Amino acid sequence: MTKLGLHLNLNHLNILLPIGISFYTFHGLSYLIDIYNQKIEPEKNFVDYALFVTFFPLLVAGPIERATHLLPQLKQPRIFNYEFAVDGLRQILWGVFKKIVIADQCAFFADMIFNNSSQYNGISHVIGAIFFAFQIYGDFSGYSDIALGTAKLFGIQLFRNFNYPYFSKNIAEFWRRWHISLSSWFKDYLYIPLGGSKGHYLIKIRNILVIFLLSGLWHGANWTFVIWGLLNAIFIIPSILKSKQDKRFEVKINGKLLLGIVEFGSILFTFFLTTFAWIFFRSSSVSNAIDYIGKIANNSLFNAPNFDSLSRAILPFILIIFMLLVEWFNKDHEHVFSGFSRIKNRCFRWLIYSLLLFAIGMFMRTEETPFIYFQF
């Protein structure tokens, strides 16, 4: 505006918003919409309603619960269930492992490269993007595991929020596996009322764009989030426009240890698209994201990484591979330790627990490392 001779002094409000406001706002909205649609009756007990909105495990970063699912559980008398509680503790352990051992280790390199991108070459930028992809997965799914496991200690079953999303073969499947509670919320309360996948192709495309643009804005009032949502919409449109979505792959991988070349290639390509979109999500501005992608596209992509702590980066890659292998061999379960009770050898079970606790202690950072989704 200064080039046009206009000097604007715009005042803005510095408002501190409570942690997790978007999550419990969606809790309350689902409650009101379900009452309007006569799916539930208005809750007459204020304490039960207040507990539904502010149930502490999911208060700051979800999952986004529905009154139809959570309120009936809160109103029922609960008796301590030992097996349910033990399963919750196992889920908490794996969630803490993903946060501290995976996400926080990846965060060191992701922050270093994204915050100083001009200093690094193309292949270093690729490594930074991969590390952020696993940082946000370990961070967010780790929190969800902790939240679900904590709720189980109180006899409460929350919505599953992640279903091994990086094993998806296309973006449509990815969004059925990633942040499931948010995806299903938009689907049930916005996408289907808009007409869903019915009608003319232009209507379908409009509905997809609306959902993903709003999903981007839900994360923050920044053009980077809007473009992130737009990219995911573009990636998902081909799958949605098919008359029947191909879900055969989801059946194939259940109980299957090895994949064919096409299936494995589909998983890698989906991960590439997802990671490309994450660059906009992570960048502080659109120009920074474009510069970051430009560095990847130049000739330095084929050079050796040029950051000093390259040897230190090998360990997070090994840890990522370990996590993926553990999740792959347990992908048929709600979480990786769901079927652990069937292992009769108690010494073996406690050896695994001890190794995970040892790793958590070894990799725990001294400085504060808040969860990424605490800001949304």
Residue with tokens 């040029």: 306
What's the pLDDT at 286?
93
For residue 218, give the nearest of 54, 52, 61 by alpha carbon.
Answer: 61
- Answer whether 169's CB lies under 8 Å from 266's CB: yes
345 Cβ partners below 8 Å, 6+ apart?
A: none
What's the pLDDT at 209?
92
Residue with tokens 């094993």: 167
pTM across the whole model: 0.87
Which amino acid, residue 179?
Answer: H
Helix-helix angle 346-363:82-97, to 10 degrees? 40
Please indicate whether residue 7 is annotated as part of the active site: no
What's the pLDDT at 7?
52
Q: Which of 179, 219, 333, 335 does the annotation list as catalytic? A: 219
Structure tokens at 11: 């005042």
Please, what are the averages of pLDDT over each run of 10 residues along the chain (376 residues)? Answer: 48 58 82 90 89 84 86 87 91 95 92 88 91 95 94 92 93 93 91 80 87 88 90 88 51 57 90 96 92 84 72 88 92 85 80 92 82 72
Which helix (H) or strand (E) segment is 117 a member of? none
Distance CA 8, CA 28 (A): 39
